[in-house]
Amino acid sequence: MKKNLFVAVAVLSVLSLALMAFSPVGTVSASYDAYRGPNNDPDDRPDGDGICDLDGEPQVNLGSNAGGRWLESAVMGRGMNAGAGYALAPLSEAEAAGLVLAIEEEYKALALYQSMMVTFGDVAPFAEIAASEQVHANTLIRQAEKYGIAFPAFDPSIYNFPTFSTLDEAYQAGIDAETADAALYDELMADVTHADLVRVYTNLQKASLNNHLVSFQSYLND
């Protein structure tokens, strides 16, 4: 009886190893999917800006910024080999293109606020919002790398922003930028079927409307 039990356990172990060996590359485990759910997604977990938790990750700097703030790294392949289970469904062409547009939009906002700091110095709210825009871009980069989508590097030299002569002009430009940013996410979400992208886009849009836009409006009307 003990011999038969031993044989049965051995056979099951071999079958488990075989299944693991032939699991498709680029899959995530069911437990990992659960971990990435709406209330515990590393790309969706609220931090001070309502975007994501940045603790415990390598860091990268997207460029000169207020106080040299550092951000969570966009780790290549994060989540791609967390275990065998459900396949990570690829993005559609529209979703992939939209994700790149979102990254470029956050890059542009970051570059705009950095240009304002060059003119007016490290003053509120530009420094804080510029640092937040880095978080936004990094959050989107993580999604792009998770799905294997190529994206451009951050290059502030490609933008030709006007020179603002007063802070009120700069505040208004910030209002316009955050309004356009939020409108873009409305457009992008019309083509999105992946729940993780919907969560990320929704959180980024909320941050633009509820934090950045409100901040610029309060300074303009002060």
Exposed, middle or buried, 91 (CB in 10 Å: 0-12/13-18/19+)? buried
> At residue 222, does pLDDT exceed 60?
yes
d(CA 143, CA 218): 32
Q: Count CB atoms within 10 A of the CB of residue 12.
A: 10
Is 172 a domain residue? yes
What CATH number does the domain containing 161 carry?
A: 1.20.1260.10
Q: Which residue range is the domain that position 125 belongs to?
A: 24-220
More confident position, 56 or 187 = 187
- The helix or strand, by DSSP H or E, that contains position 183, with its residue range, turns out to be helix 167-189
More confident position, 123 or 175 = 175
pLDDT of residue 78: 33
Is 5 a domain residue? no
Averaged confidence pLDDT in the chain = 72
Is 18 a domain residue? no
Is 14 a domain residue? no
- Three-class DSSP category at 87: strand
Residue 87's pLDDT band, with cuts at 50, 70 and 90, is low
Q: What are phi and psi of 104, to 5 degrees?
A: -65, -35
> Within 13 A of 73's CA, how many CA atoms are on the CB side?
9
Q: Is the overall model pTM greater than 0.85, yes or no? A: no
Please give the average per-residue pLDDT across 91-106, as a whole number: 97
The domain total for the chain is 1
Distances (CA, A) of 198 to 42, 140, 176, 206: 14, 12, 23, 12
Is 114 a domain residue? yes
Is 216 a domain residue? yes
Is 8 a domain residue? no
